[in-house]
Chains A and B, each alone.
Chain A
Amino acid sequence: GAVVSQHPSRVICKSGTSVKIECRSLDFQATTMFWYRQFPKKSLMLMATSNEGSKATYEQGVEKDKFLINHASLTLSTLTVTSAHPEDSSFYICSAREVERYTSKRWGTDTQYFGPGTRLTVL
């Protein structure tokens, strides 16, 4: 369980074009999804929190008009990089929050499961 898919896995585009990346929770409903950006040999940088049915919450310094996020259903969030430029080239990775109920072993956990990532190259 707790599988998150991300599409495409790799995209190369020309400068000035827009690119859409999809993030899907395959076997659970995710009211909250997250979008991260990762530079080579660095940690993950949270870009925004995507809540189903409401506007995304962007982290400081992230341009909301450049990185459009839509969370139209409980299993799908999309990130659109608008008018992409070479400096937008990066590894983008999404996660979906799964809230588990209490089981006999332990209290319910609240875990983020990650998609496989999308490598964006802007020429």
Chain B
Amino acid sequence: AQKITQTQPGMFVQEKEAVTLDCTYDTSDPSYGLFWYKQPSSGEMIFLIYQGSYDQQNATEGRYSLNFQKARKSANLVISASQLGDSAMYFCAMREDQDSSYKLIFGSGTRLLVRP
């Protein structure tokens, strides 16, 4: 079974509107971390936001927020007030803390295109 699932290969959003990128995960580890990264066409992976499994509140970083629903095992990224520069690939990733390698498991990504 896929550990990280991103069901939206591509998304469109109008500039200045909000958009939600979906991510569901599968783990039996009670302690884990969830991450979102942005990859523009230049290729660099930009860290956006982190949510720990024990965090009581949903993570927020500027225009990015993470809608963490633990029971549903979902960690959707919400981008508010979309900008043209938000057009990029977005990857959801998970780190399982019982795995002492600290490696990240990535989803297949969602390509977001912001329309002017």
List residues of A whose CB falls within 8 A of some B CB.
Answer: 2, 32, 34, 38, 42-44, 46, 49, 57, 91, 93, 95, 97, 106-107, 109-117, 119
Contacts and interface: CB of A to CB of B under 8 A. Distances in A.
8 contacts: A43-B109, A44-B45, A44-B91, A44-B106, A95-B45, A111-B35, A116-B42, A116-B43
Q: Identify whether the interface residues of A are mostly helix, strand, loop, or mixed.
A: strand
B59 to A, nearest CB: 8
B43 A117 contact: yes
Contacts of A57: 101
A43 B108 contact: yes
B91 A117 contact: no
Nearest to A97: B102
Nearest to B35: A111
B50 interface: yes
A43 B104 contact: no
B47 A116 contact: no
A107 B54 contact: yes
Contacts of A38: 43
Contacts of A115: 44
A34 B103 contact: yes
Given A43-B91, A110-B95, A93 B101 contact: no
B106 A106 contact: no
B64 interface: no
Contacts of B106: 43-44
B43 A109 contact: no
Contact of B33 (A34, A43, A93, A109): A109
Interface in B75-97: 91, 95
